[in-house]
Structure 1
Amino acid sequence: MVADTIIYHPTLTKLVKFWDSTPKREKSFRLLAYLSRFLSYYAYRKGYSKETIDMFKGLKNHFSFIRKGMRFFKPIPHLQTAAKAYDNQLMDPVLQATTIIRNLGYAGYLTIDSVVFAKMLGLVDSKKWPNLSTYASRFWLLGLVAGIIHSLRIISQLSGYKRDSTTVATDEKAKIDEKSISKQLYQAKRKLVWDLLDSFIALNTLNYLHFTEGDVGLAGVLTSLFGLEDMWKSTTV
């Protein structure tokens, strides 16, 4: 039957399992929030009605609100990662420092974001701490800068390995090692682009840059797709 073919299709099965996870749903809402942000600016530039523009702005606010609830306990894993990196004395000093700073920055950002969420729910007086969002963005930017340095360090190390390799990869083991280095180098460069795009968003949020809402929304769409791609690949049926 056609219904059975659809219901038991491997892609649909994987999609159901993919969304049966809070981090993956949160990342999906992030994509929708930034897409709505981009579309509101696009509608404004194209002269669409005020109702259409307000609809996309409203969607962005709703998706962002839902995300905050899904990230309520997210600082804890970042604190654990920072603690493990601190205890790892065999780790490269630069990678160790940037891992600690990056995760502490993200933990600070998400902790403040949880307080913002509490204010939105009315659990905390909305007039208290009016600059919380600014401090949250600063912590986020701190984590992103550490991530950029982290990626640059990995790229530098891996590029050095490739330059220092004077033997031609003739045997199977050498070919596997070369392929592994190339894969790690690609991932580090991809993460660098990812963090640069997110830094672009944070810098605009803090008013250090003054690009349009459309530019910020598009950058957010791209980084959300990066995250969803990684999560999709890690989902097994």
Structure 2
Amino acid sequence: MVADALIYHPTLSKLVRFWDSTPQREKTFRLLAYLSRFLSFYTYKKGYNADIVNMFKSLKNQFSFIRKGMRFFKPVNHLQTVAKTFDNKLMDPILQITTVVRNLGYAGYLTLDGIIFFKMLGVIDSKKWPNLATYASRFWLIGLVAGIINSLRIIYSLNNYESSVKDEKEQVDYKQIQNKLYSAKRKLIWDALDAFIALNTLDILHFTEGDIGLAGVLTSLMGLEDMWKAQP
């Protein structure tokens, strides 16, 4: 009976469905990669045995490698978003431009990341295009900056709209505005943390591996939270 209660528990069933999808698994491996990155730095600073430090470094590399294979086709999704956004003539011009730039940046980043994956597999000579990772991070940063501007625009527009709501009949809209405002602020923090990672990867900032790992853990958890809430 106890086993049946566990096997058929709604949360376990939802968890099975959750990890039965590639995006959720990819995001989970992202969490594990950044957690390993943080732990490799933490164990090193605490003076743990070198084998333990190297184990976490190896885990970070392995999880990152798996992720690259899982997101190989993702640039197409971003390019579709670009096309749909460009065709939307009713969209706020700033939101339209930043959405297009953001998705083009992500598409460029993921395309180069796919080439890096083939280099790691040995399909492409590993000595070719040695700066691909740097260019990939630049594309990622461009997408993130566009995302930050996009969120700021949404926050600005919603704040202006909120201040104009005075009629009690519009209270339903007011609640919706509050939810959208929260989502925009949350996305702003998310993109800012990822931009922090990209800036360190490009050696523009020089924080520790522990700081970068912790930022990655936080944004991974935010992504998993959104996916969990969207899971039926």
Q: Same fold (TM over 0.5)?
A: yes
Partners in 2 of 1:10 and 1:45 — Cα distance? 41
Partners in 1 of 2:65 and 2:126 — Cα distance? 15
Q: Which amino acid aligns with 2:187?
A: K
Q: Which amino acid aligns with 2:11?
A: T
Deviation at 1:138, TM superposition (A): 0.1
Structure-to-structure mapping, 1:138-177, within 5 angstroms: 138-167=138-167, 169=168, 171=169, 174-177=170-173
- Structure 2 residue runs of 5 or longer lacking an equivalent are none
Q: Secondary structure at the match of 2:166?
A: coil
Of residues 176, 194, 197, the one that matches 2:193 is 197
2:79 counterpart of 1:83: no
Q: Alpha-carbon deviations, 1:212-237, whole Å to 9, x = none? A: 0000000000000000000000000x
Partner in structure 1 of residue 95 of structure 2: 95
Of residues 209, 218, 225, the one that matches 2:214 is 218
Deviation at 1:50, TM superposition (A): 0.2
Partner in structure 2 of residue 8 of structure 1: 8
Partners in 2 of 1:85 and 1:104 — Cα distance? 11
Q: Which amino acid aligns with 2:148?
A: I
Q: Secondary structure at the match of 1:221?
A: helix
- Structure 1 residue runs of 5 or longer lacking an equivalent are none
Partner in structure 2 of residue 52 of structure 1: 52
Q: Secondary structure at the match of 1:211?
A: coil
Partners in 2 of 1:82 and 1:143 — Cα distance? 12
Q: Secondary structure at the match of 1:207?
A: coil
Q: What is the root-mean-square deviation in Å for CA atoms of aligned residues?
A: 0.6
Partner in structure 2 of residue 39 of structure 1: 39
2:174 counterpart of 1:178: yes
2:126 counterpart of 1:130: no
Q: Alpha-carbon deviations, 1:198-220, whole Å to 9, x = none? A: 00000000000000000000000
Alignment TM-score, normalising by the size of structure 2? 0.99
Q: Is the 8 A contact 2:33 2:60 kept in 1?
A: yes
Partners in 2 of 1:161 and 1:73 — Cα distance? 39
Deviation at 1:162, TM superposition (A): 1.0
Q: Which amino acid aligns with 1:66?
A: I
State, as a whole percentage, how many aligned pairs show the same letter.
Answer: 71
Q: Secondary structure at the match of 1:194?
A: helix
Q: Secondary structure at the match of 1:231?
A: helix
Alignment TM-score, normalising by the size of structure 1? 0.97
Q: Is the 8 A contact 2:165 2:174 kept in 1?
A: no
2:128 counterpart of 1:112: no
Deviation at 1:136, TM superposition (A): 0.2
How many residues are aligned here? 232
Structure-to-structure mapping, 1:68-79, within 5 angstroms: 68-79=68-79
Q: Which amino acid aligns with 1:103?
A: N
Partners in 1 of 2:157 and 2:32 — Cα distance? 37
Partners in 2 of 1:166 and 1:17 — Cα distance? 44
Q: Secondary structure at the match of 1:125?
A: coil
Deviation at 1:166, TM superposition (A): 2.9
Partners in 2 of 1:101 and 1:177 — Cα distance? 30
Q: Alpha-carbon deviations, 1:171-195, whole Å to 9, x = none? A: 4xx2221110000000000000000
Q: Is the 8 A contact 2:33 2:61 kept in 1?
A: yes
Q: Secondary structure at the match of 1:222?
A: helix
